[in-house]
């Protein structure tokens, strides 16, 4: 079984999947970030298919950068001239490239959480 990386985004304030969230995936090496790809969530709050799989999915440190502010503005949840949350980075380590790593994001205008899903 090949390992891989997936994600989804849920809007906890509205109680539904977060469609249209931009996501950038980076590999972190030392102090540098190397962009691997860009994605957008679908109507189910998911990216179609794996973000990374096969030989490209290796042991190391990765970062997902979620464009939460753009989503919150588009859905009318932005409050005032500025946002409390805008870009949400989640940095995580992959220690087994044969395993599946699912990194979901739960967002609202003033809070977010994540966990290692299945």
Task: Enter the pTM of the model.
Answer: 0.94
CATH number for the region 4-114 comes to: 2.60.40.180
Which residues are CB-contacts of 75 (< 8 A; sequence separation ≥ 6)?
11, 14
pLDDT in tens, 29-59: 988 999 999 999 999 999 988 999 999 999 9
Domain boundaries, given as residue ranges, for the chain: 4-114
- What is the C-alpha R_g of the chain? 14
Give the residues across from 61 on adjacent strands.
28, 93
47 close to 9: Cβ distance less than 8 angstroms: no
Residue 28: CB atoms within 10 A of its CB come to 15
Nearest CA among 83, 103, 84, 82 for reference residue 92: 103
């Amino acid at each position: 079984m090949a390992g891989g990386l997936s994600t989804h985004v849920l809007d906890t304030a509205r109680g539904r999947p977060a469609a249209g969230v931009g996501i950038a995936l980076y590999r972190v090496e030392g102090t540098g970030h190397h962009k691997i790809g860009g994605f957008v969530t679908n109507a189910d709050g998911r990216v179609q298919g794996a973000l990374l799989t096969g030989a490209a999915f290796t042991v190391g440190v990765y970062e997902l950068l979620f464009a939460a502010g753009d989503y919150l503005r588009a859905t009318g949840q932005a409050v005032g001239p500025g946002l409390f949350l805008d870009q949400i980075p989640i940095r995580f380590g992959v220690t087994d490239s044969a395993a599946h790593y699912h990194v979901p994001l739960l967002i609202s205008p003033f809070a977010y959480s994540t966990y290692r899903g299945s």
